[in-house]
Amino acid sequence: MPTIALMSEQKQRMIAGELYMADDPELQEDALRAKAVMHELNTLHPAEKARRNALVAELLGEVGEGSTVLPPFHCDYGQYISMGSGCFVNHGAVMLDVARITIGDAVLIGPNVQLLTPPHPLDPAVRREGWEGGAPIDIEDNVWIGGGAIVLPGVRIGENAVVGAGAVVTKDVPRNAVVVGNPARVVRIVEG
């Protein structure tokens, strides 16, 4: 990753979690690079597992040993996503990484899960001008996120937590909690 002094002002703002303009040429170049890798990943023959793993490693900032990402997979930049070892990401995942997405070890992510770091400004005038923002998502070790769940910006999901299928996670999830619904709420604590 280039040093901060060599980055455009808008990229520096994005990485710092400040409002930024996504049409910045450097950000557009980064997004195009990610789209090219995703295109190859998402059109690869299913038998080409070694190439799939190599493309995932090229796309993401960090991928731990034994982790699997099944296509189709979509992200903004890829380089701001780090994934620990032994993770499994099922088909159709969307990880919008204008802010950091950190995924711990042994995390299971069901089909069509969305990890969304960009909260657009609530002020319509600011939004109309094209300003965007981002807040990180942190998923600790041994989490299971059920199919179709959506995790919103700025959320931390604690170790061993389970997010039920279709849940919309709007706030932090305690460790060992099972959350369901929209908005997601704790329905039980599992000690293991």
d(CA 113, CA 123): 28
Q: What is the pLDDT of residue 166?
A: 98
Q: How far apart are CA 80 and CA 103, in angstroms?
A: 11
Q: Look-up: residue for tokens 């299928």?
A: 165
- The pLDDT of residue 4 is 55
User: Using CA of residue 30, residue 24, residue 8, residue 121, what is the dihedral sign?
Assistant: negative
- Write the pLDDT tens digit of every residue in 19-48: 999 999 999 999 999 999 999 999 999 999
Model confidence at 6, pLDDT cuts 50, 70, 90, reads: confident
Would you list the DSSP string of 62-115? EE-TT-EEPSSEEES-STTEEE-TT-EE-TTEEEE-SS-EEE-TT-EE-TT-EE
Chain segment 87-123, per-residue pLDDT in tens: 999 999 999 999 999 999 999 999 999 999 999 999 9
Whole-number average pLDDT of the chain? 96
Mean pLDDT of 136-148: 98
Residue 5 has pLDDT above 70, yes or no: no
In this prediction, residue 148 has a pLDDT band, given cuts at 50, 70 and 90, of very high
pLDDT band at residue 53 under the 50/70/90 scheme: very high
**pLDDT at position 19, please?**
97
Superfamily of domain 4-189: Hexapeptide repeat proteins (2.160.10.10)
Judged by DSSP in three states, 6 sits in helix
- Residue written as tokens 């609530």? 122
- Catalytic machinery residues: 120
> Is 3's pLDDT higher than 60?
no
| Cross-sheet strand order for the sheet of 162-163 | 68-69, 88-89, 108-109, 144-145, 162-163, 177-180, 185-189
* Residue 192 reports pLDDT greater than 80: no
Cβ-contact 73, 55 below 8 angstroms: no
Torsion of CA 139, 99, 119, 89, to 10 degrees: -40
What residue segments make up the domains of the chain, in order of their start? 4-189
Span 126-154, mean pLDDT?
97
With CA atoms as reference, report the closest residue to 101 among 130, 73, 125, 128.
73
Predicted confidence band at 66 (pLDDT cuts at 50, 70, 90)? very high
Q: Please state the separation of Cα 150 from the chain's center in Å.
A: 10
Which alpha helices (DSSP H) does the chain contain, by range?
Answer: 9-15, 25-43, 49-59, 124-128
pLDDT band at 191 (very low <50, low <70, confident <90, very high): confident
